[in-house]
Amino acid sequence: MSDVEVTPEAQPQLHGCPLSDSRGQTVVHPTRAQYVALMKKLLDGGYVMCSDLTATDYLTHSGRTLPEGIDAERFEIVVNLTAIATRDRIRIRVQVPESDPLIASLFDLWPGTEAMEREVFDMFGISFDGHPDLTRILMPEDWDGHPLRKDYSIGRIPVQFKGSNS
C-alpha cells in the first residue's frame, strides 16, 4: 500500500488510524469518530465492495492485542472491504462501548451493508445511526435479548414426555 505513512514511533498508520497485522492480513483500527470518514476515503481509494460486516462481543475474552492508543471496549464492529482493481483486502475494527452501543451506518456508502447491519443489530444490540430500516432480521420481532452476546445464555427447552394417544 502506497499511502501508508510510517510515524517516528514506527506505528504504521493509514489515513491517521493505526494499522496492525493479523496473520498477514491488514487491519485498521479507527475510533468511532474517525470511522465514517475513513470508510469514505477507503471507498474512494478503490475498496468498492463491502464484503462483510459483523461484530464481536469481547466480554469474556482473555485479552486481545490492540495497537497503542486504542482502548479495548466490549463490542467491536468488524468490516471487511475488497478492492476489485488491486485485488486487495482490508479489515476495519472499531471499538464500541457497552454503555453506548451506537455507530454510524455505512448504508450511504455501501447499500449492501443494509442486511448485515440489521443482523448485527439483531444479534448484538448495536444500533446503527442513519440506517433506513433497523429492525430484527433473523429473530422474531418480539424476541427478548440479543443472542450472540456472550451474556446471553444458550438456554434449553425442557424435554416433554407425553403418553401416546393410541
Partner 1 sequence: MTSVENIFRTNEGAQEMRPRSEISAKEILREVGSVLRMSEAEVAKLGQMPAEADEDQTMIINMGPQHPSTHGVLRLMLELQGEKVLRCKPIIGYLHTGMEKTGEELTYMQGGTNVTRMDYLSPLNNELVFSMAVEKLLGIENDIPERAVWMRMLLSELNRMSSHLLFLASNGMDLGAVSMMLYGWREREEVLRFFQKVTGLRMNHNFIRPGGVAADLPPGWRDDVLTILEMLPGRLAEYDILMTDQPIWRERLQGVGVITADEALALGTSGPILRSTGVAWDLRRDQPYLHYDEVEFDVIVGSYGDAFDRYAIRINEIRESIRIVHQVLDAMPLGDYRIQNKKVTPPPRARIDESMEALIHHFKIFTEGFKVPEGEVYVAIESPRGEIGCYIVSDGGPKPYRIHMRAPSFVNIQALPHMMRGGLVADAVAVISSIDPVLGEVDR
The helix or strand, by DSSP H or E, that contains position 5, with its residue range, turns out to be strand 5-6
Q: What are phi and psi of 146, to 5 degrees?
A: -125, 110
- Is position 141 an interface residue for partner 1 (rule: CB under 8 A)? yes
**Cell numbers given for 154:** 444458550
Applying the rule CB under 8 A, the residues between 1 and 40 that interact with partner 1 are: 22-23, 25
| Residue of the chain from 12, 31, 34, 48 that contacts partner 1 (CB under 8 A) | 48
- Is position 116 an interface residue for partner 1 (rule: CB under 8 A)? yes
Nearest CA to 92 out of 84, 100, 104, 61 is that of 104
How many other C-beta atoms lie within 10 A of the C-beta of residue 17? 20
- Is position 57 an interface residue for partner 1 (rule: CB under 8 A)? yes
Nearest CA to 28 out of 63, 58, 60, 1 is that of 1
Nearer to partner 1, 16 or 143 (CB): 143
Interface residues toward partner 1, by CB under 8 A: 22-23, 25, 48-52, 54, 56-57, 61-65, 78, 80, 82, 84, 87, 89, 91, 107-108, 110-116, 119, 123, 132, 135-142, 147-148, 154
